[in-house]
């Protein structure tokens, strides 16, 4: 039963972040259409999201185990819920920059935590691979669900009605936070461990000297560059070039 609660908590965390992270294309289109933002200005949202993930992952990866995976996830979810609520209330473009920076940082923390927690609740290589594939599959379900969730709040007669989606997302994030509270996630590290946080960070840096690690980093960067380059601007292309309705363009 405890493993089920943990699995549900980490799956739900991945689900909500899938919705939020992959909403950048929708937000760019709606920022252009309803907030009067230029394409050039709207394009910076992708950077706020991706750079925050990269920087946060690099900085906190070695420190999260000392903080505790459960506490780290709770903090990330709480800040994201607050950012969603603030975005709905303020309704200004600068708030979307803050939102995606917060989402990126939160996802970096949650991803490091989730990958580590999977190792705690699986006994062998096969079960580890199975659970990891399931979690990644749920992430993709969240990606696809997000487009439909956002379009449910689009009202052509009220240009800013789509911003109400962030009330729903804030509430959904709080539900996910509650699932993490309930989950009996084990402490991150052995309390008897004497290595300092600085030594852990230095050990992580040494990995970058490995050729295989460098190849992986470069490959991941190029893959994301192509994927995000298409996905981010596809709703805007559908709407402004193909002249499709906004809801259809996003879906």
Residue 1 DSSP one-character state: -
Q: Which of 58, 50, 105, 74 is nearest to 223 (CA)?
A: 50
Examine the pLDDT at 232 and tell me if it is beyond 90: no
Q: Are the C-beta atoms of 14 and 139 separated by less than 8 Å?
A: yes
| C-alpha triplet 133, 135, 136: angle, nearest 5° | 65
Which two three-digit tokens encode residue 231?
A: 């996905």
The confidence band for 208, taking pLDDT boundaries of 50, 70 and 90, is low
More confident residue, 188 or 168: 168
Cα distances (angstroms) measured from residue 192 to each of 58, 132, 195: 25, 29, 9
Which two three-digit tokens encode residue 28?
A: 């760019």
Q: Are the C-beta atoms of 113 and 72 separated by less than 8 Å?
A: yes
Helices 93-121 and 125-151: crossing angle, nearest 10°?
160
Give the rounded percent of residues in the chain with a pLDDT score beyond 70: 90
Q: What is residue 124's three-state secondary structure?
A: coil
More confident residue, 200 or 108: 108
Q: Are the C-beta atoms of 25 and 232 separated by less than 8 Å?
A: yes
Which two three-digit tokens encode residue 243?
A: 């002249």
Q: Which of 7, 8, 15, 6 is nearest to 137 (CA)?
A: 15
Examine the pLDDT at 113 and tell me if it is beyond 60: yes
Q: For 194-201, which contacts have Cβ atoms below 8 Å and span 24 or more sequence positions?
A: 197/62, 197/63, 197/66, 200/62, 200/63, 200/65, 200/66, 201/62, 201/63
CA distance 122 to 11: 15
- Give the range among 59-63, 122-126, 191-195, 213-217 with minimum mean pLDDT: 191-195
- Give the range among 27-41, 119-133, 142-156, 207-221 with minimum mean pLDDT: 207-221
What pLDDT, on a 0 to 100 scale, did the predictor assign at position 212? Answer: 81
Phi then psi dihedrals of residue 208, to 5 deg: -70, -15
Examine the pLDDT at 49 and tell me if it is beyond 80: yes
Fold for domain 2-187+197-250? Answer: Growth Hormone; Chain: A; (1.20.1250)
Phi then psi dihedrals of residue 152, to 5 deg: -65, -20
pTM: 0.86
What count of other Cβ atoms lies within 10 Å of the Cβ of residue 153? 17
């Amino acid at each position: 039963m405890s493993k089920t609660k943990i699995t549900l908590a980490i799956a739900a965390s991945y689900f909500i972040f899938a919705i939020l992270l992959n909403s950048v294309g929708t937000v760019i289109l709606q920022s252009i259409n309803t907030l009067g933002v230029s394409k050039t200005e709207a394009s910076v949202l992708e950077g706020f999201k991706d750079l925050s993930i990269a920087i946060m992952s690099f900085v906190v990866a070695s420190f999260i185990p000392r903080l505790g995976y459960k506490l780290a996830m709770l903090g990330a979810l709480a800040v994201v819920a607050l950012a969603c609520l603030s975005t709905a209330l303020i309704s200004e473009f600068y708030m979307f920059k803050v939102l995606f920076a917060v989402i990126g940082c939160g996802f970096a923390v949650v991803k490091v935590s989730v990958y580590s927690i999977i190792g705690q609740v699986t006994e062998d290589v096969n079960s580890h691979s199975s659970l990891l594939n399931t979690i990644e599959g749920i992430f993709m379900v969240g990606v696809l669900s997000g487009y439909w969730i956002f379009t449910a709040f689009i009202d052509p007669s009220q240009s800013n009605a789509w911003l109400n989606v962030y009330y729903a997302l804030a509430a959904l994030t709080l539900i996910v936070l509650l699932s993490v509270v309930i989950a009996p996630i084990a402490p991150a590290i052995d309390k008897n461990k004497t290595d300092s946080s600085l030594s852990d960070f230095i050990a992580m840096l040494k990995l970058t000297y490995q050729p295989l690690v460098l190849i992986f980093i470069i490959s991941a960067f190029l893959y994301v560059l192509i994927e995000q380059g298409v996905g981010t601007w596809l709703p805007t292309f559908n709407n402004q070039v193909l002249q499709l309705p906004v809801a259809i363009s996003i879906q």
